Amino acid sequence: MHLSYVEIWKGIDQLAVQKGLSLSAMAQKAGLDPTAFNKSKRVGPDGRKRWLSMESLNKVLAATNTGLDEFIRLTGQDMKPVQPTIPLLGFAQAGKDGYFDDAGFPVGSAGWDAIDCPMTFHKPVYALEVCGTSMEPVYREGDRLIISPDSEIRKGDRVVLKTKSGEVMVKELKRQTASQIELKSLNPTHADRSFAPQDVAWMARVLWVSQ
């Protein structure tokens, strides 16, 4: 977002009104020269516009307990959040070659779609869309699982695991040792599974599900 010279100073003027302060009092409250916000000083002797520095803006926002989004609204602009997108792949495709790297992150673009991220995550994520009934009653066809290869996995977490033979499954981690990975099936009609670590290509945590 770009704020113009006029919009920035409009925000300063509106902020002073909102806080019930004069421009001089607001400048002093921010630890600035009392004349820093004076309208007569917004243009230099040579006629050049004097822009408010980012340092001064940060000081006045802190001193008045004002968030950047609130200040931007005072300038007359709306701070509209940008909804990030994340890669989406159908679960039936996940076992095929060419969609993931060795750590379980998406690679390439062929076959991947993009969806709006349903919430904010602090690690790279992607989505797998459930097909069929093998994960019922926990996950149903059309559910989108948000997967994080970077997140720590603990006992009881739901995970997506891909074997080196290309099999992909979503289960609950029962136990993990140096010699065995034990998984509990989400569907009681399906058997639990166990794998030697050397037979697993990657395993990633299911962070969230969009149902």
Average of pLDDT values for 87-106?
93
Using an 8 Å Cβ cutoff, are 160 and 143 in contact?
Answer: no
- pLDDT category at 120 given cuts 50, 70, 90 is confident
Crossing angle of helices 5-19 and 54-63, rounded to 10°: 20
Residue 169 and residue 167: Cα distance in Å, rounded? 7
Is 70 exceeded by the pLDDT of residue 2?
A: no
- pLDDT category at 80 given cuts 50, 70, 90 is low
Summarised one tens digit per residue, pLDDT across range 15-32 is 999 999 999 999 999 999
- pLDDT category at 60 given cuts 50, 70, 90 is very high
Question: What was the pLDDT predicted at 81?
Answer: 52
Strands (E) across 80-149 are located at 85-90, 113-116, 126-129, 144-148
- pLDDT category at 123 given cuts 50, 70, 90 is confident
Domains of the chain: 5-74 (1.10.260.40), 85-210 (2.10.109.10)
- pLDDT category at 204 given cuts 50, 70, 90 is very high
Summarised one tens digit per residue, pLDDT across range 184-203 is 999 999 999 999 999 999 99
Question: What was the pLDDT predicted at 18?
Answer: 93
Token pair for 196: 């030697």
- pLDDT category at 210 given cuts 50, 70, 90 is confident
| Cα-to-chain-centroid distance, residue 64 | 28
Using an 8 Å Cβ cutoff, are 192 and 185 in contact?
Answer: yes
Average of pLDDT values for 92-113?
91
Query: Above pLDDT 70, what percent of the chain?
Result: 96
Question: What was the pLDDT predicted at 119?
Answer: 79
Residue 125: closest CA among 160, 156, 164, 172 = 160
Using an 8 Å Cβ cutoff, are 52 and 12 in contact?
Answer: yes
Which residues, other chains included, contact 81 with Cβ-Cβ below 8 Å and sequence gap of 6+?
A: none
The pTM assigned to this predicted structure is 0.61
